[in-house]
Structure 1
Amino acid sequence: MDRSSPVPLYFQLSQQLEEAIEQGKLLPGTLLGNEIELAGRLGLSRPTVRQAIQALVDKGLLVRRRGVGTQVVHSQVRRPLELSSLYDDLEAAGQRPATRVLRVAVIPATAEVAAALGIAEGIDVRLIERLRLTHGEPIARMRNFLPLKPLDPTQEELESTGLYRLMRNAGTTLHSARQSIGARTATPDEAALLAEPDGAPLLTMQRTAFDDTGRAVEHGNHLYRASRYTFELQLLIRN
């Protein structure tokens, strides 16, 4: 702690704790102890520690448990808006991603999927449905629709890496994407799958990816837990 800094001590402490949580130095489930123990250990006053903890409780990074103390919970995933795989983004952030394959099937393209991929309705496409987890906790349900070639992934491949990496390995050069983001409430089935209460808020994302020739090569329809996930945007001011 820099006691000569104009930055309040409680804010310095909350920033250091938040950084440790985000970097995986303080893992979910870690007990920090109670405020008196923390204050004594850090050489700070109890009100300073209480204010720092409350700031992180408000952010959903810590939780107070009666008789136990302060405990680290899962941090919220912050993802930049760019053409990247959620698996790769989580891996780069030290979030320990995992995948549960829910369904892989060949189905006729619906009108929506056909329009996105630029094909005729009813043409066969590959449906890949997965549940993405971080630290063992579900964070997103992803449905991807792809042409039948060149990618025909195995369940083991889908569980071990991101879809975009598999597409690149199969020879697809991803170039750009069109994406829309929205929100709605979870159905009972979606809530159960994502470990949320019925009617919980969910973020929605629809994305169509294009290769370097301008051909649509993937259409995704995804759901994210709003309690655990945010999109980050960088805005440029146009003079």
Structure 2
Amino acid sequence: MTSVPVNRSAAYSPAVTTSAPDALDFALDRSSPVPLYYQLAQQLEAAIEHGALGPGSLLGNEIELAGRLGLSRPTVRQAIQSLVDKGLLVRRRGVGTQVVHSQVKRPLELSSLYDDLESAGQKPATQVLRNEVVRASAEVAAALGIAEGGEVHRLERLRLAHGEPMAFLSNYVPTGLLDLDTERLQATGLYRMLRSVGVTLHSARQTVGARCATAEEAERLGEPEGAALLTMQRTAYDDTGRAVEYGTHIYRASRYSFDFQLLVRP
């Protein structure tokens, strides 16, 4: 086993990149049947996902990196290319290879995007685009179990991670459940606010899908028109069986994925 250091940079700037003295160790097992390029790619990806290599971290060019790791240049190129293809790294002329961002892998469980981003070290932030009381459409009324045309809170929020758009969230909440203060919505997640007023989230019905971004959605999320988006519809219930939230969300597929654990049916 050999351990090799890789330098990190400060936060990424398009114009200026500086290096930090701290290092990250990679352990490459040359006796393993697992190809060295794959070992390197997996460990780099893990370092990015866990925040050890943050956005803007500088790996250097392929020749420098191969020299530090004691690997051939084609091996390093193959490892880097696999992460470039995933959107985690980018090659910059005259600079080298840099971390762009990590992809959020969200488990399919009843949790909020804000909490998941925060626990993953993604520095979540929220822009509240709409916070108003509206009449419930037939779709919203059916999801929340209220009369069509009844009043509901409508929220539209842009969720960011490390300052970059991650998801556009549209939520409907029954009136009288809690005070949906815009400043609080910008500072924390909706589920935290529900819990703070004594709502115990118990279960949810959720549908996951995919489609292409419209021009408006692409501009909002910083993607090209027609880019792949993940979609999610969810109705959340409290411990009494009451529907407390209905959401329709879209996520950048380049930055976000759902993580499943599958069990064999007995």
Same fold (TM over 0.5): yes
Given that 2:86 and 2:254 are in contact with CA atoms closer than 8 Å, whether structure 1 keeps it comes out as: no
Q: What is the aligned counterpart of 1:190 among 192, 199, 217?
A: 217
Task: Give per-residue Cα distances to partners, 1:117-164, cap 9 Å, x unaligned.
Answer: 111011111111110011111010001100112211222211121111
Question: Any residues of structure 2 matched to 1:194-233 within 5 Å, and which?
Answer: 194-233=221-260
User: Aligned-pair distance for 1:80?
Assistant: 0.9
The reply to whether residue 149 of structure 1 matches residue 176 of structure 2 is yes
Sort the Cα spacing of 1:55 and 1:199 in 2 relative to 1 into closer, same or farther, 3 A. Answer: closer
Q: What is the aligned counterpart of 1:131 among 158, 164, 174?
A: 158
3-state SS of 1:141 partner: strand
Partner Cα distance (2:118, 2:256) in 1:
15
Structure 1 moving runs of 4+ over 4 Å: none
Q: What is the aligned counterpart of 2:133 among 106, 112, 120?
A: 106
> Which one-letter code corresponds to 2:196 in the other structure?
N
In structure 2, the partner of 1:92 is 119
Corresponding residue pairs, total: 239
Task: Give per-residue Cα distances to partners, 1:7-50, cap 9 Å, x unaligned.
Answer: 22222211221111111111112221111111122222222211
Partner Cα distance (1:44, 1:235) in 2:
37
Residue identity over aligned pairs, in percent, reads 74
TM-score relative to the length of structure 1: 0.96
Structure 2 runs not aligned, ≥5 long: 1-27
3-state SS of 2:83 partner: helix
Structure 1 runs not aligned, ≥5 long: none
Partner Cα distance (1:2, 1:207) in 2:
44
Partner Cα distance (1:151, 1:157) in 2:
12
User: Aligned-pair distance for 1:93?
Assistant: 1.0
3-state SS of 1:221 partner: strand
In structure 1, the partner of 2:203 is 176
Task: Output the aligned Cα RMSD.
Answer: 1.3
User: Aligned-pair distance for 1:193?
Assistant: 0.5
